[in-house]
Amino acid sequence: MRRILLYILLLGVSLNVCGQQKDKGIIRSDTVNTGRNLKLIGIPVIFSTPETGFGFGGGGQLFLTGESNTFLARQSNILFTGIYTANNQIIIQALPQVYFGKGDYYLDGTYEFRIYPNKFWGIGNDTPEDNEEDYDMTSHKMRVDFLKRLPPSLNFGFRFNFENHEVTEVEEGGILDSGEVFGSDRAVIVGLGAIFNFDTRDQVEDPHGGYYVTFNAQFSSEKFGATHGFNRFETDLRAYRPIREKGLLAERLDVQNNFGDVPFQSKAQFGGGNIARGYFAGRFIDDQMYVLTAEYRWRFHPRWSLAAFGLMGEVSDLTSDFFQDPKFSTGGGIRFKILKQQNTLVRLDVGIGEDGNNGFYFGVNQAF
Query: What is the per-residue pLDDT across 246-283, written as a single tens digit (0 to 9) for each?
Result: 999 999 999 999 999 999 999 999 999 999 999 999 99
- Give how far Cα 313 sits from Cα of 138, 189, 252, 298, Å: 29, 26, 11, 25
State the pLDDT at residue 49.
Answer: 87
Give the CATH number, domain containing residue 46: 2.40.160.50
Specify the amino acid at residue 203.
Answer: Q
Q: What is the pLDDT of residue 12?
A: 37
pLDDT in the model for residue 103: 78
pLDDT value at 27 more than 70: no
Contact 311, 359 (CB under 8 A): no
- Is the per-residue pLDDT at 326 higher than 90? yes
Question: What predicted TM-score, i.e. pTM, was given to this entire model?
Answer: 0.83
Mean pLDDT, residues 127-138 taken together: 96
CA distance 354 to 328: 6
* pLDDT tens string 34-80: 557 888 888 788 888 889 988 999 988 898 877 676 776 677 889 89
Tell me what pLDDT residue 4 has. Answer: 35
- Residue 272: per-residue pLDDT: 93
Q: How far apart are the C-alpha atoms of 167 and 184, rounded to whole Å?
A: 7
User: Can you give the pLDDT at residue 343?
Assistant: 79
| pLDDT at site 34 | 53
Share of the chain above pLDDT 90, in %: 68
| pLDDT of residue 25 exceeding 50 | no
Q: What is the pLDDT of residue 88?
A: 95
Does the pLDDT value for residue 187 go beyond 60? yes
pLDDT in the model for residue 33: 52
Mean pLDDT over each residue of the chain, to the nearest integer: 87
Residue 153: band (very low, low, confident or very high) from pLDDT cuts 50, 70, 90: confident
For residue 81, pLDDT over 80 is answered with: yes
Residue 22 has pLDDT above 80, yes or no: no
Kindly indicate the confidence band of residue 242, based on its pLDDT and cuts at 50, 70 and 90: very high
- Beta bridge partners of residue 316, listed in sequence order: 288
Predicted local distance difference test score (pLDDT) of residue 17: 35
Residues of the domain holding 81: 2-364
Give the total number of structural domains in the chain: 1
